[in-house]
Structure 1
Amino acid sequence: MSTKADLARPLTDTGHRMARQRGESMRKAGLIPDLVLCSPAMRTRQTYAGLLPFGNNARPEIRIEPTLYLAAPDELLARLRATPDSVHTILLVGHNPGLPALARYLNGVEVALESDFELGTLATFNVEVEERETIALAWKSLGPKTAWLESFSQN
């Protein structure tokens, strides 16, 4: 399949249903992103749209970024590291195998994330803090085992 055709490939009915389910899970958990980073592929944009609305009339900044399309883990990490520290919660909507590889790299919990994420996987992480009471780890310091897997939803 050509890149142009792949970028234009829509989300399946199952994908739309999963996105709505994940959006409901996010609302119940109170997960509201400050920033959404989304691949330009139609299926990722449709996934993001299916997650809406977020709670509390949230209006996160949304960035459709071409560099996120099928990005490798190091490219995803570089993008996260470039995030201003004023941003507390990021929703990254992208692709296999880059996202699962990044999750395994960042995961500081002894829970294995060995396989690629299935359709509609939602993994939430907390970033480790240097001094829990005072200062969060800066995005630019994100690295191996600096994020703690909080939840993992598939199926």
Structure 2
Amino acid sequence: MKPVAHRLLLLRHAEAAPPEGGDLGRDADLARPLTATGHQIARQRGESMRRAGLIPDLVLCSPALRTRQTYAGLLPFGRNARPEIRIEPTLYLAAPDELLARLRATRDSVHTILLVGHNPGLPALARYLNGVEAALDSDFALATLATFRVEAEERESIALAWAGLGPKTSWLESFSQS
């Protein structure tokens, strides 16, 4: 059985406004919108993704306003691009093992996943998947995009791409900070 290439795109949200009134609670943090600069950077990130042909089949997005607005700024991906979009509460400030478990639960018919989320979970997941790139030694700056090629792992004549996701099945293709 020949390995099938899949792609994982890890995107940190763009610049967000500080919480209103200095409120550090969960609700206030979830409600933080992008700044004008954040909106502009999200649009620029979308343009660069289109030029590179990075079109997701599935978008997994934290419910935070800043992540949803970052994703919206990426659009449109193209005339025929209609990714499935899932806003999932468990992705808000998720730990790397939680992110990995969610990715591993994805059906293999999905070839490209865009995960829009937060520090510190995204960079920790990227370091786990890649394990060697110096660029991944620190947290992701705002609007950082890490692109991984994921190859299917063969087990008992069945090719598993997402269920077998890990450091020996994924390779960093690009790492772009705004």
TM-score normalised by the chain length of structure 1? 0.92
Name the counterpart of 1:121.
Answer: 144
What amino acid is the match of 1:115?
S
Whether 1:97 and 2:145 are equivalent positions in the alignment is no
Name the counterpart of 2:3.
Answer: none
Q: Distance in 2 between matches of 1:117 and 1:29?
A: 20
Provide, for residues 35-73 of structure 1, a one-character-per-residue CA deviation record: whole Å limited to 9, x for no partner: 000000000000000000002430100000000000000
Return the offset for 1:145: 3.9
List gaps (5 residues or longer) in structure 1.
Answer: none
Name the counterpart of 2:102.
Answer: 79
2:153/2:164 contact within 8 Å kept: no
List gaps (5 residues or longer) in structure 2.
Answer: 1-23
Aligned with residue 44 of structure 1, among 52, 67, 70: 67
Return the offset for 1:138: 2.0
Return the offset for 1:137: 4.2
Return the offset for 1:128: 2.9
Q: Distance in 1 between matches of 2:56 and 2:86?
A: 12
Q: Number of matched residues?
A: 152
Name the counterpart of 2:46.
Answer: 23
SS in 2 for 1:149: strand
What amino acid is the match of 2:104?
R
- Larger strand proportion of the pair: 2
SS in 2 for 1:17: helix
What amino acid is the match of 1:92?
L
Return the offset for 1:130: 4.3
Aligned with residue 70 of structure 1, among 80, 84, 93: 93
Aligned with residue 13 of structure 1, among 20, 36, 57: 36
Name the counterpart of 1:55.
Answer: 78
Q: CA RMSD in A?
A: 1.7
Query: What percent identity do the matched residue pairs reach?
Result: 85
Greater C-alpha Rg: 2
Whether 1:111 and 2:128 are equivalent positions in the alignment is no
TM-score normalised by the chain length of structure 2? 0.80
What amino acid is the match of 1:69?
Y
1:74/1:102 contact within 8 Å kept: yes
Provide, for residues 63-108 of structure 1, a one-character-per-residue CA deviation record: whole Å limited to 9, x for no partner: 0000000000000000000000110000000000000000000016
- Alpha carbons of structure 1 residues 56 and 126: separation in structure 2 relative to 1, 3 Å: farther
